[in-house]
Structure 1
Amino acid sequence: MVRAVWKASYEIGHPRIDGEHRIFLDLILQIERDLTEGRPFERVQRHLIELYKYADFHFFSEESLMVEVDYPDLIPHRRTHQLLLEDLASYTRSLSVASLRDRDLVGFLIEWFAFHTAGDDLRLASYVRQERTSS
């Protein structure tokens, strides 16, 4: 039951960031496969840790782009990244073997991912495009 698919609405128009977003989604799909195939809890946990570490890298990558283009909303965007990481860490720490059956982990991850890409990243993309055309 694959609910997570790449959507054009996830694209922000920056090749590197869009590529990183695709990796994000691929990691979520891996977790979904783990759950669907009844893989051991430890494997799901390991993939969740990988997702967290990748998110941390990706957010740093985005913030580097913001510094390069002198993005005026860097500080609030960085704070959003911090809150997203805290939210992901808190949610995944609360998981256990039993709760994997009771919670919609993949639904949470897709919503978490979509929130990240749909709002602040689209504003960043618009700013980057504007900067490129005015340069």
Structure 2
Amino acid sequence: MALYDWKDDYSVGVARFDNHHKRLFDIANQLHEMMKLGKGADVIEPTLRELVDYTRYHLTEEEKVMESIGYSNIVSHKMAHKVFTDQLNEAMAEVDAGKTIFVVIKIAKTVIDWLINHIYVIDKKYLPEMSAAGIR
């Protein structure tokens, strides 16, 4: 059973971004499974980097679409992304300093917790403007 289950309530109404969010849940679950199985840092670190890299990719793609439609709340949305990206960068600096195992669960949980909160509080706000622009 997955530690972090995707729920239909998390849908933002844009299939591409829902798929991105689901992928992030999948990667976080892979990390959790690796930890349960006692895998070492050499196995876990590439998946951890995938989670961070995919998170950055998703945020960039979301911002591109928001820019393309002239999303009215883009400034605060981008700021929320920047604050979170800064947190990821700090965590990855710890990994680079050799603290992989200690950081893995923190990052996986942080990404999912942030993502769920971000979806409910911030992402769902763009649905009317995305829909009006024909983005589903």
TM-score surpassing 0.5?
yes
Q: Which residue of 2 aligns with 1:114?
A: 116
CA contact 2:91–2:103 (8 Å) conserved in 1: no
Q: How does 1:1-135 map to 2 (within 5 A)?
A: 2-94=2-94, 96=99, 99=102, 106-132=108-134
Q: Give 5+ residue unaligned stretches, structure 2.
A: none
**Residues in 2 aligned to 1:37 and 1:109: alpha-carbon distance in whole angstroms:** 21
CA RMSD of aligned residues (A): 2.4
Call closer, same or farther: CA 1:43–1:93 in 2, change over 3 Å. farther
Q: Percent identity?
A: 21
Deviation at 1:107, TM superposition (A): 3.2
Equivalent position SS for 1:2: coil
| Greater RCO structure (CA 8 Å; 6+ sep) | 2
Equivalent position SS for 1:9: helix
Deviation at 1:86, TM superposition (A): 1.2
Equivalent position SS for 1:24: helix
Measured against aligned partners, the alpha-carbon deviations of 1:61-84 in whole angstroms (never above 9, x if no partner) come to 101110121101112111111111
How high is the TM-score relative to the length of structure 2? 0.82
Paired positions, count = 132
**Residues in 2 aligned to 1:129 and 1:98: alpha-carbon distance in whole angstroms:** 42
Deviation at 1:105, TM superposition (A): 5.1
How high is the TM-score relative to the length of structure 1? 0.83
**Residues in 2 aligned to 1:68 and 1:77: alpha-carbon distance in whole angstroms:** 14
CA contact 2:66–2:74 (8 Å) conserved in 1: yes
